Amino acid sequence: MTHHDPTFWLLARAAGLTAYVLLGASVLAGLTLRTRPARRLRLPLVAEAHKTLAVASLAAVALHGSALVLDSTVRVTPAALVVPGLVAYRPAAVAAGVVAAWLLTIITASFWMRRRLGVRAWRRLHKATYLLFVLAAAHGLTAGTDSSQPWGQALYLGMPALVSFAACWRILTVAGGRTVARA
């Protein structure tokens, strides 16, 4: 009888959960940038926190994927980390995670390409963050082994609720501010 060392499996789970929380925090920070409460804060600090949380989330995603490759619980090859659909375990759910990782990489890289892209194109690209977040939540909820736990469900459903609330608040406060400014 062989003994399975759970170290990499536990690391993969912890890194995946950490990546999701950091992503959610980054999205929330980004959503507050143009709202009234953020005006009371130092905007450069909020913007830097937004960017730092995104980079930290990307690092946690890299650790998540690396630990999965090193673990023997689910067979994940290095190619499966970059090509959606190569993992037999819950293929659609894992593919959503791979696409989310690609979007996170591209959107995070865009922080340093903003001037080259132009503000309008950069903002359009940044709107893909909503898709990224939905894919990440779906990945965690449907592929994550902790999603059956009450705390896992609270995390994977609570974070989208917070982000949805913040997005609605941003739409209302930014739109409200424009209406007042136009009047």
pLDDT tens digits, one per residue of 4-56? 789 999 999 999 999 999 999 999 999 888 776 656 677 788 889 999 999 99
Q: For residue 7, what are the contacts with CB-CB under 8 A and spacing of at least 6?
A: none
Flag whether 170 is in a domain.
Answer: yes
> Measuring CA to CA, which residue among 83, 96, 85, 101 is closest to residue 147?
96
Flag whether 1 is in a domain.
Answer: no
Flag whether 90 is in a domain.
Answer: yes
Its pTM stands at: 0.88
Spans in the chain with pLDDT lower than 50 = 179-183
- Say how far apart CA 75 and CA 60 lie, in whole Å: 20
Domain count, the chain: 1
Domain of residue 43 covers 7-182
